[in-house]
């Protein structure tokens, strides 16, 4: 049993933010119907790498969903949409603001036929405000929010975070907002519109940066491999590579001095006496520590830290991460059978619920795989479906669709 | 009205991942009681900057919560905790695995007295698996997930993401898991245990990277500001700085060629014909674009991108962000009154809900600020009893 069994979602979104949201909800048991455009569907289907002609990028974030292809620019296609919209609890879309309304599939249109609908719009800048009309992607949001000015080495070329943090961030912000709205709906029967943007969702993540800025106007800059407010809490060079050390408090620092690098004298060294002094003298601290660490390789130091109970760990490349025994033991790598791709691996589910664990029930759908199934379930006859296909209102079903 | 009104949360967490989770629950209407240890409370209370001796860092992620200081190592303190746990819907904790068991406040103990409890543990590596006993912070998770190996310039020193990304990802993962479990509880009355870790919450953010790895065996490396699968999608050098261009699909690319750089012939150039070709020839593409961009300022190109309706923008510093007219128009900077520090600003709420918008109802509490209120109003302790508990160092 999934925690969200019975929750029905109509997903109009594409690429990453929206699909990530609906994947998370699907993993937890929601039924997700992905409505795609006729020519090619979700843009991610064009992104490599491809296996047997199917996109493995699409495969990674569209599991546990059904795909139907509908042309929303035709009246009959709109009719299909309205009939589905009446049946579902949640709609997720990521059109540029204004587009859904002009297609007559916006919140106001749907509310009239289903007042309990939870309609979530994900956009670059949100539905209001001076930039609302602009298109925005993850990278543009990384630039706007200031995070790029905090990432990288001082004075270097601006860097983005290694993964699409704001796309994913928008997706999971949408996921929790939808669930809160669903709780409200279960209690009152009322739906609502949820408006969130890539440019905003990352802002509340700046807890420490906001504290410094609002308290005394400090503008945070890039700190490279170091923490802004804690030391030593960063990557250190060893004989063979780098590793992460995290002395987040005084106790860990003292254990590190005594049990890891055998420099108990540093505990009373006025330059390193507390976190504040260690931050102030970070350059010299880093140099002193690396002078010791350079004698052995990373593995040696990580083991010593572990014995001493000091938080430390390796800097994995992705290959190492994907083969790490801990991830494997925690089911974070799963293999799924896809109708075209065949057996393919994917990243698993990060939250472990004891009563209603998340589940990968099906691989990502091929384009339009469930058109016939879904439309039949809301009352379309075989004849009507044939007609809709001939007039290109719905796409040709393949694999297990019958048309 | 707020969507989570009536949900009672006991928050045993500190620093960032857990407090972020319970802050958002509070923003959405949950009644959050933060249980802090004696002495000192949440470690964040000692993180600067300070105004009137109160930590501003603490203020940023502990609004909409009550504070109760409780000594869980005393029998009486444990008793009070059990009384609160019996009335709670949700408990969130981020001790090292094993600690709650030794304190006698673990899931099994609480479930026996409150079967509907949703008990969420947030830890570095999770409650099972070979590393579960280790302590883990955000930075170790950035190292373990591979995120650091993908951030930075190719071949350079590993760089961490600008903020505590995996603390946040764990906090938000805990948040949506708790809400899903709460939905299940509303329908069935059954609670459950939720095990969330930093190293897993962060791992699942590597979507394109896992596609490349599992689909083609490629190990993703640092790409500077470039996208792994799209081009042009990166920062380009201008006369006075950098500008971001997000030409993530063919239509935007064509608009970019015609309307921004005025090189319509690039659309037919075999090197740049499709996304796949442009990614393959990303060095040549960067050179071609920067040869043009270098002649004008960032402001000029941002304007030109806007006119052509191609997603693009500046790379703001943090003060530019928080003074941006759009960010201000969307209510992302809010002012509140702190009982001691006075008027302070903080970051707003990113999900705008039309019927039940999140609200900042109160500032972060001072240590133990609500001890008396909670004990007398919620648990029915008398003034004398509370006085006694105080004297014995229980609260």
Residue pair B147/B119 in contact (Cβ under 8 Å)? The answer is: no
Q: Which of A9-13, A222-226, B350-354 has the lowest mean pLDDT?
A: A222-226
* pLDDT for residue A397: 63
Specify whether the CB–CB gap between B182 and A339 falls below 8 A. no
Residue A152, pLDDT score = 83
Peptide bond into B232 cis (omega under 30): yes
Q: For residue B59, what is the nearest residue in chain A, using CA coordinates?
A: A211
B296: pLDDT strictly greater than 70: yes
Q: How much of chain A exceeds pLDDT 70, in percent?
A: 98
Question: Is residue A401 predicted with pLDDT exceeding 60?
Answer: no
pLDDT digits (tens, 9 = 90+) for A75-90: 999 999 999 999 999 9
Q: How far apart are CA A86 and CA A82, in angstroms?
A: 6
Other CB atoms closer than 10 Å to residue A81's CB: what's the count?
21
Residue A364 has, within 13 A of its CA and on its CB side, a CA count of 25
Interchain contact A40–B (C-beta under 8 A): no
Our CA angle for B379, B383, B387, nearest 5°, is 105
**To probe the interface with A, which of B59, B211, B312, B314 has the most A CB atoms within 10 Å?**
B211
Q: Taking Cα atoms as reference points, which of A239, A374, A221 lies closest to residue A294?
A: A239
Mean pLDDT of A41-64: 91
Nearest to B13 by CA among B1, B25, B28: B25
Helix and strand element counts for chain A (H, E): 17, 14
Nearest to A180 among B3, B127, B225 (CB): B3
**Which pLDDT band holds residue A402 (cuts at 50, 70, 90)?**
very low
In this model, does residue A91 exceed pLDDT 60? yes
Instruction: Give me the residue from A216, A224, A353 closest to B192, CB to CB.
Output: A353
Q: A336 forms bridges with which residues in the sheet?
A: A344
What does the pLDDT read at residue B38? 87
Q: What is the DSSP letter of B85?
A: H
Please tell me the distance in Å from A387's CA to the nearest CA on chain B: 31
> Active site includes B167?
yes
Residue B49 has pLDDT above 90, yes or no: no
| Tokens of residue B244, six digits | 């971001």
Burial B142-155, CB ≥16 within 10 A → b, else e? bbbbbbbbbbbbee
- Give how far A403 is from chain B: nearest CA, Å: 30
Is B200's CB within 8 Å of A311's CB?
Answer: no
Least confident piece of the model among A147-156, B41-50, B127-136: A147-156
> Does B43 sit within 8 Å of A129, measured CB to CB?
no
* φ, ψ dihedrals at B70, nearest 5°: -145, 130
Cβ–Cβ gap B152/A7 under 8 Å: no
Contacts of A184 in chain B (CB under 8 A): 1, 3, 355-356
Do B232 and A139 touch, CB atoms closer than 8 A?
no
Contact call for residues A126 and A196 (beta carbons, < 8 A): yes
A124, A213, A346 ranked by CB distance to B214: nearest? A346
How close B374 comes to chain A (CA, Å)? 25
- A347–B206 C-beta distance less than 8 A: yes
Residues of B in contact with A193 (CB under 8 A): 353-354
Active-site residue, from B42, B106, B167, B195:
B167
Q: Residues with Cβ < 8 Å from A102, sequence gap 6 or more? A: none
Cα A332 to Cα A358: distance, rounded to the nearest angstrom: 12
- Determine the residue of chain A that is closest to B233 in CA distance: A139
The two three-digit tokens of residue A142, written as one number: 């990384």
- The residue-averaged pLDDT of A318-327 equals 91
- Write the pLDDT tens digit of every residue in A133-166: 888 888 888 888 988 888 887 777 778 888 889 9
Looking at every residue in chain A, the average pLDDT score rounds to: 91
Burial B223-239 (b: 16+ CB within 10 A, else e): bbbbbbbbbbbbbbebe
Q: Given CB atoms, is A330 within the 8 Å cutoff of chain B?
A: yes
**How far are the Cα atoms of A251, A331, B202, B246 from residue A69, in angstroms, in the given order?**
59, 33, 33, 27
Per-residue model confidence as pLDDT tens digits over A344-367: 999 999 999 999 999 999 999 989
A363 touches chain B (CB under 8 A): no
> CA B176, B169, A328 angle in degrees (round to 5)?
95
Neighbouring-strand partners of residue A346: A334
Nearest CA in chain A to B354: A193
Interface ipTM: 0.90
Rounded mean pLDDT, B189-201: 95
pTM of the prediction?
A: 0.91
Q: Is the pLDDT of residue A399 over 60?
A: no
Higher pLDDT among residues A398 and B86, named by residue: B86
User: What is the predicted pLDDT for the residue at B47?
Assistant: 84
Beta-carbon contacts of residue B56 (< 8 Å; ≥ 6 apart): A211, A212, A214, A215, B48, B49, B50, B341, B344
B148 to A49: CB separation less than 8 angstroms, yes or no: no
pLDDT tens for each residue of B212-268: 899 988 888 888 888 877 899 999 999 998 999 987 788 899 999 999 999 999 999
Task: Inspect the interface and report whether the beta carbons of B162 and A150 lie closer than 8 Å.
Answer: yes
Rounded to the nearest angstrom, the minimum Cα separation between B347 and chain A is: 6
Cis peptide before A49 (omega within 30 of 0): yes
Is B174 in contact with B194 (CB distance < 8 Å)? yes
Contact between A326 and B125 using a beta-carbon 8 Å cutoff: yes
Helix (H, G, I), strand (E, B) or coil at A242: strand
Q: Which are the contacts of B79, defined by CB distance < 8 A and separation ≥ 6? A: none
């Amino acid at each position: 049993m999934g925690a969200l069994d019975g929750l029905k979602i109509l997903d109009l979104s594409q690429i990453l933010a929206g699909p990530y949201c609906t994947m998370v909800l699907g993993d937890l048991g929601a039924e997700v119907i992905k409505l795609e455009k006729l020519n090619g569907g979700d843009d991610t289907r064009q992104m490599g790498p491809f296996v047997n002609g199917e996109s493995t990028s699409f495969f990674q974030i569209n599991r546990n969903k059904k795909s139907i292809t509908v042309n929303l620019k035709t009246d009959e296609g709109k009719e299909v949409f309205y009939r589905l919209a009446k049946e579902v609890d949640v709609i997720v879309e990521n059109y540029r603001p204004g587009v859904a309304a002009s297609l007559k599939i916006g919140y106001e249109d749907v509310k009239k036929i289903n007042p309990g609908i939870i309609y979530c719009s994900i956009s670059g800048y949100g539905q209001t405000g001076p930039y609302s009309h602009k298109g925005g992607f993850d990278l543009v949001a990384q630039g706007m929010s200031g995070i790029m000015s905090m990432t990288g080495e001082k004075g270097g070329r601006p860097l983005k975070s290694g993964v699409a943090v704001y796309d994913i961030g928008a997706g999971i912000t949408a996921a929790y907002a939808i669930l809160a709205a669903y709780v409200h709906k279960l209690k009152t029967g009322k739906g609502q519109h949820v408006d969130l943007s890539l440019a905003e969702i990352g802002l509340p993540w700046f807890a420490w940066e906001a504290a410094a800025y609002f308290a005394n106007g400090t503008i945070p800059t890039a700190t490279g491999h170091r923490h802004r407010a804690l030391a030593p809490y960063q990557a250190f060079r060893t004989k063979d590579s780098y590793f992460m050390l995290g002395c987040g408090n005084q106790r860990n620092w003292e254990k590190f001095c005594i049990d890891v690098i055998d420099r108990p004298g540093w505990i009373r060294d006025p330059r390193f006496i507390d976190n504040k002094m260690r931050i102030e003298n970070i350059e010299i601290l880093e140099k002193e520590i690396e002078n010791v660490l350079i004698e052995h390789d990373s593995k040696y130091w990580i083991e010593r830290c572990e014995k001493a109970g000091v938080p430390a760990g390796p800097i994995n490349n992705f290959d190492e991460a994907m083969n790490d025994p801990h991830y494997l033991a925690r089911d974070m790598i799963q293999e799924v059978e896809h109708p075209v791709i065949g057996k393919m691996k994917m990243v698993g589910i990060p939250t472990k619920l004891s009563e209603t664990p998340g589940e990968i029930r099906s691989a990502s759908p091929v384009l339009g795989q469930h058109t016939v199934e879904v439309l039949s379930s809301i009352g379309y006859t075989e004849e009507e479906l044939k007609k809709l296909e001939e007039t290109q209102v719905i796409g040709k079903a393949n694999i297990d669709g019958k048309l | 009205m707020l969507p989570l009104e009536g949900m009672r949360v006991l928050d045993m967490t500190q620093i960032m991942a857990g407090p972020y989770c319970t802050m958002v629950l509070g923003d959405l209407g949950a009644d959050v009681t933060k249980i802090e240890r004696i002495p000192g409370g949440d470690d964040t209370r000692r993180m600067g900057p300070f105004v009137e001796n109160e930590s501003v860092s603490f203020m940023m992620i502990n609004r909409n919560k009550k504070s109760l200081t409780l000594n869980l190592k005393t029998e009486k303190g444990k008793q009070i905790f059990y009384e609160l746990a019996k009335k709670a819907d949700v408990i969130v904790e981020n001790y090292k695995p094993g600690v709650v068991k030794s304190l006698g406040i673990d899931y099994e103990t609480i479930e026996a007295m409150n079967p509907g409890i949703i008990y969420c543990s947030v830890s570095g590596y999770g409650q099972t698996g070979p590393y579960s006993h280790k302590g883990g912070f955000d930075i170790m998770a950035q190292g373990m997930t591979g995120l650091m190996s993908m951030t930075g310039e190719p071949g350079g020193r590993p760089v961490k993401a600008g903020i505590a990304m995996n603390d946040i990802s764990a906090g938000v993962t805990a948040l949506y898991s708790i809400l899903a479990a709460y939905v299940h509880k509303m329908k069935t009355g059954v609670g459950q245990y939720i095990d969330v870790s930093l190293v897993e919450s962060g791992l699942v953010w590597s979507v394109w990277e896992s596609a490349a790895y599992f689909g083609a065996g490629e190990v993703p490396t640092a790409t500077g500001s470039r996208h792994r699968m799209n081009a042009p999608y990166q920062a380009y050098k201008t006369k006075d700085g950098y500008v971001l261009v997000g030409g993530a699909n063919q239509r935007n690319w064509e608009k970019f060629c015609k309307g921004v750089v005025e090189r319509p012939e690039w659309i037919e150039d075999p090197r740049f014909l499709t996304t796949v070709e442009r990614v393959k020839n990303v060095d040549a593409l960067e050179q071609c674009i920067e040869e043009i961009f270098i002649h004008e300022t960032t402001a000029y190109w941002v304007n030109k991108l806007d006119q052509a309706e191609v997603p693009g923008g500046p790379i703001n510093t943090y003060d530019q962000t928080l003074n941006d007219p759009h960010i201000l128009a969307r209510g992302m900077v809010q002012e509140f009154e702190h009982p001691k520090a006075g008027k302070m600003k903080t970051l707003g709420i990113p999900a705008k809900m039309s019927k039940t918008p999140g609200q900042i109802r109160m500032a972060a509490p001072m240590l133990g600020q609500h001890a008396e209120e909670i004990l007398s109003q919620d648990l029915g302790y008398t003034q004398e009893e509370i006085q006694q508990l105080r004297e014995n160092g229980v609260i």
